[in-house]
Amino acid sequence: MKILVCISNVPDTTSKINFTDGDTKFDTNGVQFVINPNDEFGLTRAMWFKEKQGATVHVANVGGPTTEPTIRKALAIGADEAIRVNAEPTDGFFVAQQLAEVVKNGGYDLVIAGRESIDYNGGMVPGILATLLDMNFVNTCISLEVDGNNATAMREIDGGKEKISTSLPLVIGGQKGLVEESDLRIPNMRGIMMARKKALNVIEPVDAAKATQDAKFEKPAAKGAVKLVDNVDDLINLLHNEAKAI
Amino acid sequence: MRPDLFEAPDYYNLDDLFSEEHLLVRDAARQWVKRDVSPIIEEYAQKAEFPRQIIGGLAEIGAFGPYIPEEYGGAGLDQISYGLIMQEIERGDSGVRSTASVQSSLVMYPIYTYGNEAQRKKYLPKLASGEWMGSFGLTEPNHGSNPGGMETKFKDMGDHYLLNGAKLWISNSPFCDVAVVWAKNEEGRIHGLIVERGMEGFSTPETHNKWSLRASATGELIFQDVKVPKENLLEGKSGLGAPLGCLDSARYGISWGAIGAAMDCYDTALRYAKERIQFGKPIAAFQLQQKKLAEMITEITKAQLLAFRLGQLKNEGKATTAQISMAKRNNVEMAIKTAREARQILGGMGITGEYSIMRHMMNLESVITYEGTHDIHLLITGMDITGHAAFKG
Ligand SMILES: Cc1cc2nc3c(=O)[nH]c(=O)nc-3n(C[C@H](O)[C@H](O)[C@H](O)COP(=O)(O)OP(=O)(O)OC[C@H]3O[C@@H](n4cnc5c(N)ncnc54)[C@H](O)[C@@H]3O)c2cc1C
């Protein structure tokens, strides 16, 4: 089985978020980037397929040269080879078209993407990708088994789970559940050393339309000051007289 | 202990100067410390025990001899990577970093640098994987800052050496499998010998009741007519310069490690100051607390730059003993002062094991003493710039 894990490069959740250029661009200054958590669950599951079922695992990222440390980390965790499509991932449709090209050329049986990336939360890449490739698609996937050409996946649905049987070639939009947080891997030194020698192929993007453009970003309004009150009477008094809520 | 929320300060965007591999190595060590060290270290420090279960993890992140070539089980990394690993480990605990420093710089380094091929092949891979742990015996009860006066000695008995003497304050001694021991031959010249656990007459009693480096095991190395095989002599170098060469490597690592301890104290204090309300405001809004925090980040940033430049020099093989002394002395003092100020910012909370600060502060009392005391490093700088050695008064 040949697996492609699509990884996006996202700010660490502790990063301070700021915008530049009249609030149209994300300010990357001083921001630490990591593998998108949903993709990391997928990558870890792919490592399981590699170790238990002899799968080959490639990772792909659409991004500029600054995403390479994140890609190299995926190689250090154990992916066999990486592809970076040299373009800014500004729009989900554009990214999906680039990845579709990678999948077509690489002949993958299984494509594991994250349900969404935690930076822009677009959530459209895996769905568009499956459509462009005419492959089966399972979104919000929380478990995946593959036996020959058959796949069994579990989806998170409102208030429960849905078990699906499908077949390869398959695209999934994965999330936590594929593996648990405690299964995530820290690259060890041997992995880091091996990653030095693994191929990180940079390819130029194909011509593809962008369906959207960022017009403006806004940060949530700053939180107001907190007041601590000792008893219910004071609370009612404040709600009534100050907040005028009751 | 509270959950580890550490966010590393990088005020001068030093990350831009590191290579992709430096960052990968550093972040792996950082993640590992958060996952495997922070949740347990307070408990082990409180009960004064080295957490042996983390040895495998230390080996996995490359803490044992990262700059030793791959053919001997090392990772073949550069000196900046080594520094970054030490920084991250000491961010967790100076005692754990001490174990890694000793293994890398004081055991693997001399075997690699002064040992012959058979010794390298026999010891280095097992030390790199953590299967064997090592210790380094230089200090003696009567000879600390002045190791040249050591009394431990060995005699050539024809088919083996006979070793007698005692070493004190030896990190890892209670559980070490091998010890690199410095002793004088019959002519009074200092040589390194590899002593293995199990050799008759060799014992390693533990030193108890430390208030510092409690999560690191410290002890003695006692040699009573120990028969050391001749092939265990490190032939490559003799004289006091041989052990001092190892110290250069370890002190270099400490100059990075101390930054880790300081970063952790600063980060904890900054977070606490923003959250702790007194007189209706976060205490971070008071000038006196801002002064402490602003000075801390300034000093941390200076120390980071010093270590980075020293790392470049070390990579080029140009770092001098005196330059290393300056960085060790400056950065450890910076860390100890940061810890003391940070502790005050936390008020009463600062003295508890809920937070890491007091543990760092106590640990750093050892770090400022071992590998050359604060005074001795000043004398090294003094000698370097004036040409006069002032050690002997
Ligand atoms: C926790 C811990 C772990 C250690 N691990 C190891 C280890 O693994 N291996 C090892 O070999 N050693 C180890 N050491 C020993 C350490 O290196 C020594 O403690 C250190 O070198 C100082 O020696 P000393 O304690 O004998 O102090 P002394 O040398 O007696 O110094 C006492 C004081 O006198 C000052 N002083 C000494 N000489 C001068 C001078 N000429 N001018 C001015 N002031 C002077 C010193 O600065 C110090 O303030 C460890 C120590 C500790 C605390």
Residue B12, Cβ neighbours under 10 Å: how many? 15
| Atom 26 of ligand 1: nearest residue by CA position | B144
Q: Are A92 and A213 in contact (CB under 8 A)?
A: no
Q: Supply the pLDDT for residue A14.
A: 82
Q: Supply the pLDDT for residue B172.
A: 98
Name the residue in chain B with its Cα closest to that of A34.
B27
Of residues B20, B31, B61, nearest to A68 (C-beta): B20
Atom of ligand 1 nearest to the CA of B167: 11
Chain B positions touching A187 (Cβ under 8 A) are 24, 28
Q: pLDDT higher for B278 or A224? A: B278
CB of A65 less than 8 A from some CB of B: no
Whether residue A73 and residue B61 make contact (CB cut-off 8 A), yes or no, is no
**A85 pLDDT more than 90:** yes
- What does each of the 393 residues of chain B score in pLDDT, given as a tens digit? 889 999 999 999 999 999 999 999 999 999 999 999 999 999 999 999 999 999 999 999 999 999 999 999 999 999 999 999 999 999 999 999 999 999 999 999 999 999 999 999 999 999 999 999 999 999 999 999 999 999 999 999 999 999 999 999 999 999 999 999 999 999 999 999 999 999 999 999 999 999 999 999 999 999 999 999 999 999 999 999 999 999 999 999 999 999 999 999 999 999 999 999 999 999 999 999 999 999 999 999 999 999 999 999 999 999 999 999 999 999 999 999 999 999 999 999 999 999 999 999 999 999 999 999 999 999 999 999 999 999 986
Q: Of B255, B318, B310, nearest to B105 (Cα)?
A: B255
Q: Supply the pLDDT for residue B13.
A: 92
Question: Strand pairing partners for B193?
Answer: B181, B233
The pLDDT confidence band at residue A59, using thresholds 50, 70 and 90, is: very high
Cα B344 to Cα B342: distance, rounded to the nearest angstrom: 5
Q: Supply the pLDDT for residue A212.
A: 87
Q: Of B134, B88, B104, B28, nearest to A193 (Cα)?
A: B28
Say how many Å lie between the CA of residue B373 and the centre of ligand 1.
Answer: 6
The 10s digit of each residue's pLDDT in A105-145 is 999 999 999 999 988 888 999 999 999 999 999 999 999 99
Of residues B10, B35, B60, nearest to A189 (C-beta): B60
Say how many Å lie between the CA of residue B136 and the centre of ligand 1.
Answer: 14
**A94 pLDDT more than 70:** yes
- Give domain limits for chain A: 2-221
Cα B245 to Cα B174: distance, rounded to the nearest angstrom: 24
Cα A174 to Cα A45: distance, rounded to the nearest angstrom: 10
The angle at the Cα of B225, spanning B223 to B231, to the nearest 5 degrees, equals: 85
Q: Supply the pLDDT for residue B393.
A: 67
Chain A positions touching B31 (Cβ under 8 A) are 186
CB < 8 Å & 24+ apart, contacts of B69-74 = B70/A193, B72/B112, B72/B120, B72/B121, B72/B124, B72/B125, B72/B128, B73/B124, B73/B125, B73/B126, B73/B127, B73/B128, B73/B129, B74/B108, B74/B124, B74/B128
Cα B202 to Cα B174: distance, rounded to the nearest angstrom: 12
Query: What lines the ligand 1 site, CB under 6 Å?
Result: B 102, 136-139, 144-145, 169-171, 213, 218, 366, 369-371, 373, 375-376, 379, 391
The mean predicted confidence, pLDDT, of chain A is 93
Which tokens hold the place of B180?
Answer: 């690199």
**A225 pLDDT more than 80:** no
Of residues A29, A189, A196, nearest to B62 (C-beta): A189
Q: Catalogue the active-site residues of B.
A: 371
The pairing of strands A150-157 and A160-167 is antiparallel
Whether residue B76 and residue A68 make contact (CB cut-off 8 A), yes or no, is no
Chain B positions touching A73 (Cβ under 8 A) are 24, 27
Average pLDDT over residues A198-227: 88
Please give the CATH superfamily to which domain A2-221 belongs.
HUPs (3.40.50.620)
Best residue among B370, B379, B383 to mutate for probing ligand 1, ranked by most atoms within 8 Å of CB? B370
Whether residue B32 and residue A192 make contact (CB cut-off 8 A), yes or no, is no
Say how many Å lie between the CA of residue B143 and the centre of ligand 1.
Answer: 8
The pLDDT confidence band at residue A13, using thresholds 50, 70 and 90, is: confident
CA atoms within 13 Å, Cβ hemisphere of B121:
4
Atom of ligand 1 nearest to the CA of B212: 1
Which residue segments constitute the domains of chain B, with CATH numbers given? 14-129 (1.10.540.10), 134-238 (2.40.110.10), 241-386 (1.20.140.10)
Best residue among B50, B99, B145, B172 to mutate for probing ligand 1, ranked by most atoms within 8 Å of CB? B145
A216 to chain B, minimum CA–CA distance in Å? Answer: 27
- Residues with Cβ within 8 Å of residue B387, at least 6 apart in sequence: none
Whether residue A193 and residue B28 make contact (CB cut-off 8 A), yes or no, is no
Say how many Å lie between the CA of residue A46 and the centre of ligand 1.
Answer: 52
The pLDDT confidence band at residue A16, using thresholds 50, 70 and 90, is: confident
Q: Of B362, B371, B303, nearest to B334 (Cα)?
A: B303
What value of ipTM does the predicted structure carry?
A: 0.86
A221 to chain B, minimum CA–CA distance in Å? Answer: 19
Whether residue A192 and residue B62 make contact (CB cut-off 8 A), yes or no, is yes
- Residues with Cβ within 8 Å of residue A185, at least 6 apart in sequence: A44, A47, A77, A78
Q: Supply the pLDDT for residue B119.
A: 98
The pLDDT confidence band at residue A148, using thresholds 50, 70 and 90, is: very high
